[in-house]
Amino acid sequence: MSTPLFETSRGQPVSNAAPRPAATVVLLRDAADGPEVLMLKRHGSSDVLAGVFVFPGGKVDAADAALDADTHLDEPVQRLHERLGEAAVDSATAAGLFVAAVRETFEESGLLLAEDAAPARAAEAAAQLADGVPFNAMVAALGLRLQCSALAPWSRWITPWNSLNKRFDTRFFAARAPAGGVARHDGHETTESVWVRPRAALEGYWDGALSLAPPQIMTLAHLSRFGSVDAALQDARGRAPALVEPLISEAGELRTMCYPGDPDHAVTVRAMPGPLRLVVRDKRCEPLDGFEGFFA
């Protein structure tokens, strides 16, 4: 069942803690009817987005920035910093975000973005993680070289300050799914996995068949505009990642989330295609002009 997945305080206390850094990967593959994206369903008892379909990802660990970049990354940290496009973070932090994206994607989906990562090699890596070997130690033991070059910075989403949900500062990356890899869910953090066309995912959300959070909704609306994986990645590599700090507002019982470019948002320049605001009606986030408003 669809849920709005953003709440404001309505007189209740909200956390003023800084948002936790996170990374997520929009994995894409070409199919007969157009590009498909991998989505995983969060476990129903999860304390973050329970029962919601998301892209693989999670929190950044301190160890992500400690991986030996010269040996195990296919691009120098300075280049990763340039591609991330954030002057406020240093090169090591930028590289750590790329590593976190690769690590979380592998842990959650079994798809390994690394050189020479044939299915058998990915299975060996997964077995080591299952035995409790830390990710960095596994990478070193197998002599892996992570394909950070495959990750195209796509957007950056920061949870609103007045949200009751946990706050995250999440960098979204787009990447082509590794050839020959088989995606799977782990049965613990995630309980379902599906390759789906972006528009079809939004149709499922609209019909109440699956739950989505606003960042996924807006990302799917953006992805639906591309006819191939190459086109989506070319778009990502030809622009700066969109910075999205939504504004939640309330007027009586009506709750609204505004995005950059909306008249009520402090940022006047549009950050991404799609609707400039979503309103909550019947526990569903929707554009003012209905379903087709996602694609206007």
pLDDT of residue 43: 76
* pLDDT tens-digit map of 58-116: 999 999 999 999 999 999 999 999 999 999 999 999 999 999 999 999 999 999 999 98
* pLDDT at res. 234: 98
Query: Given this model, what pLDDT does residue 162 score?
Result: 73
275, 214 Cβ separation under 8 angstroms: no
Regions of the chain with pLDDT less than 50? 1-4, 6-13
How high is the pLDDT of residue 2?
A: 43
pLDDT at 211: 94
Domain 20-242 has CATH 3.90.79.10: yes
Domain ranges of the chain: 20-242
The span from the CA of 147 to the CA of 122, in Å, is 14
Give percent above pLDDT 70 in the chain: 92
Q: Which helix (H) or strand (E) holds 217?
A: helix 214-223
Position 164 scores a pLDDT of 65
Residue for token digits 């995630």?
Answer: 190
The 10s digit of each residue's pLDDT in 142-170 is 999 999 999 999 999 999 877 767 899 99
- Contacts of residue 74, Cβ cutoff 8 Å, sequence gap at least 6: 115, 145, 146, 147, 148, 149
Give the pLDDT confidence score for residue 47 in this predicted structure.
64
Give the pLDDT confidence score for residue 1 in this predicted structure. 40
